[in-house]
């Protein structure tokens, strides 16, 4: 894990805070402002993109990275040819992925190891050390301040309107096509 035994992320965050380089989306967050004294809340970002791996298929990759150090950590790889095709536009496959990401971000924000799996079921023997660490302190906190992706993933994987859509194609305003 990036934070175990590496002081670079903490040093970079302290430097950015002292130089007043952190954006309000970070500095004004209740989780950052309300953190107990001495508790570091790291800014992280989520990056989502399609990755081609053959002529006929690609996959959806989801990475998390510490915003200041730019060190990426692969979270999910979802092969697009194996995404559900029941008419849901792939949401039967994407929903568990987003549920896991939300669960992970929630526990990063709280700074504790989860006590149950992302679907609410208890940890089992196949979950390794997770049951032993349940409820213990992570030693840090993190808050997501950015979600990055291209327009294709914005409309498909995030469920926002497409640029070709006739009804509000811009996710930020009510512009016409």
- pLDDT for 37: 87
**Residue 61, class by beta-carbon neighbours within 10 Å (0-12 exposed, 13-18 middle, 19+ buried)?**
middle
- pLDDT for 175: 67
DSSP letters spanning 99-159: HHHHHHHHHHHHTB--SS-TTSPPP-GGGTTHHHHTT-B-S-EEEEEEEEE-HHHHHHTS-
* pLDDT tens, the chain, 177 aa long: 566 666 778 888 889 999 999 999 999 999 999 998 888 899 999 999 888 888 888 888 899 988 888 888 999 998 888 888 888 878 888 888 889 999 999 999 999 999 998 888 998 888 888 888 888 988 889 999 998 887 777 666 776 666 666 666 666 676 666
Tokens read off for 153? 């993933």
**Contact status, residue 68 vs residue 80, Cβ threshold 8 Å:** no
- In angstroms, the CA 39 to CA 146 distance is 21
């Amino acid at each position: 894990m990036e934070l175990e035994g590496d002081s670079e992320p903490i040093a970079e965050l302290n430097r950015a805070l002292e130089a007043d380089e952190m954006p309000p989306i970070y500095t004004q967050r209740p989780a950052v402002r309300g953190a107990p004294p001495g508790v570091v809340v790291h800014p992280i970002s989520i990056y989502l993109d399609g990755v081609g791996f053959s002529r006929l298929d690609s996959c959806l990759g989801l990475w998390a990275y510490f915003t200041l150090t730019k060190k990426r950590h692969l979270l999910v790889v979802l092969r697009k040819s194996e995404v559900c095709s029941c008419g849901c536009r792939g949401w039967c496959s994407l929903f568990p992925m987003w549920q896991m990401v939300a669960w992970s971000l929630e526990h990063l924000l709280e700074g504790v190891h989860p006590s149950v799996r992302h679907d609410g079921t208890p940890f089992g023997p196949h979950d390794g050390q997770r049951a032993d660490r349940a409820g213990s302190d992570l030693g840090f906190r993190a808050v997501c301040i950015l979600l990055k992706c291209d327009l294709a993933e914005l409309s498909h994987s995030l469920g926002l309107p497409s640029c070709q859509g006739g009804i509000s194609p811009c996710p930020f305003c009510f512009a016409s096509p």
